[in-house]
Amino acid sequence: MLPDAPGPGAGTPPLLTGRGLTKGYGGAPVLHGVDVDVHRGRALAIVGPSGSGKSTLLHVLAAVLPPDDGAVVLEGRRIDDRGERARAALRRSTFGFVFQQGLLVPELDADENVALPMLLGGASRGPALRTAREWLGRLGIGDLVARRPGEMSGGQMQRVAVARALAHGPAIVFADEPTGALDTDTAAETADLLFATVRESGSALVVITHDLALAARADDAVSIRRGALEPVVLEPATVAA
């Protein structure tokens, strides 16, 4: 029997693992003993109905929320049990985030928005802005470096958000419904850019989406149901039709 086509990162130890993750908000747990692996150079899509716990899982994996039980391990080191300051520093240095609405700072130009995670990480302004402008160019909006978010379309703002998530060279990009606020064509374009840039950079991608066409482009896909993960098998050809 032929093995599954090995993508980059397959067969090597996972970059990030969640084991036995349980998380609730007072009532019944939203996540109930979830196990998940994130591999270098691969994209993992998380799908599931609204309210099923997708964002909760992303926040637990990204050390935003501590789990009630279980562990999150990054390159062999546990990260979920660190204090808030240590987790914040880790998120800034090692992770990139893209949300449904770009959450750009309205008072800052595009290049300053992209440079912000680097500046918060201690980079000096000149080099950070140069790197930011390179990334904006790579994402096809090099002409918009001096625009503020209010002077851009939704798709352009999401490109800025993608640049911001990647410019500091994160190991993992977490994207929560990154194309959910965009029209179909802009969503497809933005998804293409996100997958292509993450793959080129060698980072891992964890992407939450309602959009099965987007999930079908990921290397792996799981769905959350009743607090647990199930593998999903998506056929790109049929989903795209």
Ligand X SMILES: Nc1ncnc2c1ncn2[C@@H]1O[C@H](COP(=O)(O)OP(=O)(O)O)[C@@H](O)[C@H]1O
Q: Are 54 and 74 in contact (CB under 8 A)?
A: no
Q: Which residue in this structure is represented by tokens 């770009």?
A: 102
Q: Which residue in this structure is represented by tokens 């090692």?
A: 94
Of residues 16, 18, 44, 55, which one binds Mg ion by CB under 5 A? Answer: 55
The amino acid that residue 178 corresponds to is P
Give the chain's radius of gyration (CA, Å): 18
Number of CB atoms found within 10 A of residue 186's CB: 17
The amino acid that residue 179 corresponds to is T
Number of CB atoms found within 10 A of residue 125's CB: 11
Of residues 14, 29, 34, 55, which one binds ligand X by CB under 6 A? Answer: 55
Give whichever of 95 and 174 is closer to Mg ion, judged by the CB atom. 174
* 225: contact with ligand X by CB under 6 A: no
Q: Which stretch binds ligand X (CB under 6 A): 43-51, 130-138, 192-200, 230-238?
A: 43-51
Say how many residues touch Mg ion, by CB under 5 A.
Answer: 2
Q: Which does 187 bind (CB under 5 to 8 A by kind): ligand X, Mg ion, none?
A: none
CB of 223 to ligand X, least distance (A): 10
Q: Which stretch binds ligand X (CB under 6 A): 11-19, 53-61, 76-84, 187-195?
A: 53-61
Token code pair at residue 211 = 């959009």
Q: Which stretch binds ligand X (CB under 6 A): 48-56, 99-107, 191-199, 230-238?
A: 48-56
Distance (Å, whole) CA 209 – CA 3: 28
Q: Which residues of this chain interact with Mg ion, rule CB under 5 A?
A: 54-55
Q: Which residues of this chain interact with ligand X, rule CB under 6 A?
A: 25, 30, 48, 50-56
